[in-house]
């Protein structure tokens, strides 16, 4: 288990101060696997380990998309465990389970135990649709992070997240701000309307954001930083892990892209 004793936000702020906001997404997709890796779970794991090795001194966090591993059954879960162990060994970065869980309270209690205790994740992404009691077992763990989906970047987000006046995503942000026990973050996609991101920041000024969509998905870095300030994690997945199509140059390319993003953030704040 983690030896972190401070509240999650304090832990996050300490890492952001030392490393900046770069979050490296680890999504081991067979279709994006560079040549030179075997086309199986071992090859996917080796690919992700190489990305971690290349970025371990610049990443503030790693976000492991568990679905890509879960598809391989027990072998996938074993790979997750080894990946978490490797990150712990080489970096102080936060480790996020991108699992998007959200279920009845008793079930949620076991999900929290799974990700926080069994696999030693620092935080997990969560679905808020079932309400407070489905999140409570995670919120109670104030040494770990509860990263709640607020406004996602997929087209289908229009179906529910924008429903109502004010829209549902603002109610999620407002409730999460009320519920926060110093461990809540919000997922807010970088490719959404910047005005929506501003509205979320207005109703949840104290909550850090996890912002996917920077890089190959086209989210604008300066717009996000202008709205969110320093208290956020900027996720880049494919832009880093698929920076090269060949294993022989993957580490160099992944590090170069991660460093480029880190410098861009630093340059932005240096100019302010």
Of 152, 94, 146, 156, residue with least CA distance to 125: 146
Do the domain assignments include residue 166? Answer: yes
Query: Is residue 67 pLDDT above 60, yes or no?
Result: yes
List the catalytic residue out of 18, 63, 89, 100.
100
pLDDT tens string 167-220: 999 999 999 999 988 999 999 998 778 999 999 999 999 999 999 987 666 678
What is the domain range of residue 212? 8-270
Do the domain assignments include residue 2? Answer: no
Do the domain assignments include residue 3? Answer: no
Do the domain assignments include residue 33? Answer: yes
Answer yes or no: are the C-beta atoms of 207 and 147 closer than 8 Å: no
Of 46, 115, 37, residue with least CA distance to 77: 115
**Token pair for 263:** 């410098």
Do the domain assignments include residue 109? Answer: yes
- Identify the CATH number of the domain in which residue 201 sits: 3.20.20.70
Query: Is residue 4 pLDDT above 80, yes or no?
Result: no
Q: Respond yes or no: is residue 100 known to be catalytic.
A: yes
* Chain CA centroid to CA 35, Å: 26
Do the domain assignments include residue 143? Answer: yes
Q: Work out how many domains the chain is built from and give that number.
A: 1
Beta strand spans in 103-229 (E):
123-126, 145-151, 184-188, 209-211
pLDDT tens string 96-143: 999 999 999 999 999 999 999 999 999 999 999 999 999 999 999 999
Q: At what angle do helices 168-179 and 132-139 cross, to 10 degrees?
A: 40
Do the domain assignments include residue 213? Answer: yes
pTM: 0.95
Do the domain assignments include residue 186? Answer: yes
CA distance 49 to 237: 14
């Amino acid at each position: 288990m983690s030896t972190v004793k401070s509240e999650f936000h304090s832990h996050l702020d300490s890492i952001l101060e030392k490393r900046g906001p770069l979050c490296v997404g680890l999504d081991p997709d067979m279709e994006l696997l560079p040549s030179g890796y075997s086309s199986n779970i071992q090859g996917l794991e080796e690919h992700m380990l190489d990305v971690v090795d290349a970025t371990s001194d610049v990443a503030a966090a790693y976000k492991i998309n568990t679905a890509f591993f879960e598809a391989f059954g027990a072998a996938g879960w074993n790979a997750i465990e080894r990946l978490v162990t490797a990150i712990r060994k080489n970096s102080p970065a936060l480790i996020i389970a991108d699992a998007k869980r959200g279920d009845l309270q008793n079930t949620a209690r076991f999900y929290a135990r799974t990700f926080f205790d069994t696999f030693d994740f620092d935080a997990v992404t969560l679905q808020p649709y079932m309400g407070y009691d489905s999140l409570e077992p995670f919120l109670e763990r104030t040494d770990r992070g509860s990263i709640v989906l607020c406004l996602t970047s997929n087209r289908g987000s229009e179906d529910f997240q924008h429903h109502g006046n004010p829209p549902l995503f603002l109610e999620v942000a407002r409730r999460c701000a009320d519920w926060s026990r110093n461990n809540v973050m919000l997922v807010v996609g970088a490719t959404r309307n910047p005005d929506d991101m501003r509205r979320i920041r207005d109703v949840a000024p104290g909550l850090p954001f996890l912002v996917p969509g920077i890089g190959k998905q086209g989210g604008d870095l300066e717009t996000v930083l202008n709205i969110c300030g320093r208290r956020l994690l900027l996720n880049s997945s494919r832009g880093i892990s698929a920076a090269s199509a060949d294993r022989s140059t993957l580490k160099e390319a992944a590090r170069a892209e991660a460093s480029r993003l880190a410098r861009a953030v630093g340059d932005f704040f240096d100019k302010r």
